[in-house]
Amino acid sequence: MARKNIQIGLFIPCYIDQFYPQVGVATLELLQKLGLDVRYPMKQTCCGQPLANSGAEKKAIKTYQNFIRNFSEFDYVVSPSGSCVYHVREHYNILEQTEEVKKVRQNTYELCEFLVDILGIDDLKIRFPHKVGIHQSCHGLRGLKLGKSSELVAESYSKVHRLLEKADGIEIIRLDREDECCGFGGTFSIFEPDVSVKMGKMRVHDHETNGAEIITATDMSCLMHLEGIIRREKKALKVMHIAEILNSNSL
């Protein structure tokens, strides 16, 4: 692929913009290191997922339309959020399917799948000497098919593992339950907080007992949930979005 000839629209989800801006910066820097022309539309807002999850999808239509206006000019839209990307691809079907809408839906990618599927990259020549546990978000795993989920009888694969496993010094730990939900689930964590916290504690425990130093994921929303539990229980674990790891110092 002639990378200089494609233009990328960078979509940064609202919770990353507000609480974890370093993840947005890491995503931008990584794409620029790869020689891509990356633009950040200044009028972008939310993808509309929170409204839809709360049963108010019709009220989200104007937000959907704003997303299309902001990103229709780009060859690809790339975001460090499997959840938001899945929402754009699958839930913008309630819009009139104009050529612009279809283009945006078809060409919006989560960061890891963009690197692997579009750019054909599996080795970013980075050094990351840490024990890392990978949390596979539900939208990324079962929605975007970033890896094989445990209920399927099929050949194992993981685009996230593929990008991380060649990092110098990294040790990817094995979990007891490798693709279990963290319990965040957007508004689920608000309406069912007790269940949500219990599920999160189970995920943290799995990483901790198997020796992880850092938990990474393609969705900062999952990591935000797990980080809250880690902080309250004063554990030594840390969380890092995969963009931050992939943007680490080169060899």
Domain map (residue ranges) of the chain: 3-118, 131-246
pTM of structure: 0.94
Which is higher by pLDDT, 240 or 50? 240
Residue reference for tokens 């194992």 = 156
Between CA 223 and CA 58 the distance in angstroms is: 29
- For 122-143, write each residue's pLDDT tens digit: 999 999 999 999 999 999 999 9
What pLDDT does 250 receive? 62
Assign domain 131-246 to its CATH architecture: 3-Layer(aba) Sandwich (3.40)
Percent of the chain, pLDDT > 70?
A: 98
What pLDDT does 1 receive? 52
Residue-wise DSSP of 30-67: HHHHTT-EEE--TT----SHHHHHTT-GGGGHHHHHHH
What pLDDT does 141 receive? 95
- For 89-134, write each residue's pLDDT tens digit: 999 999 999 999 999 999 999 999 999 999 999 999 999 999 999 9
Average pLDDT, the chain: 95
Closest CA to 136 of 211, 246, 215: 215
Domain 3-118: top CATH class: alpha beta
- For 34-66, write each residue's pLDDT tens digit: 999 999 999 999 999 999 988 999 999 999 999
Cβ atoms of 64 and 48 closer than 8 Å: yes
pLDDT, average across residues 167-196 = 93
pLDDT, average across residues 194-203 = 96
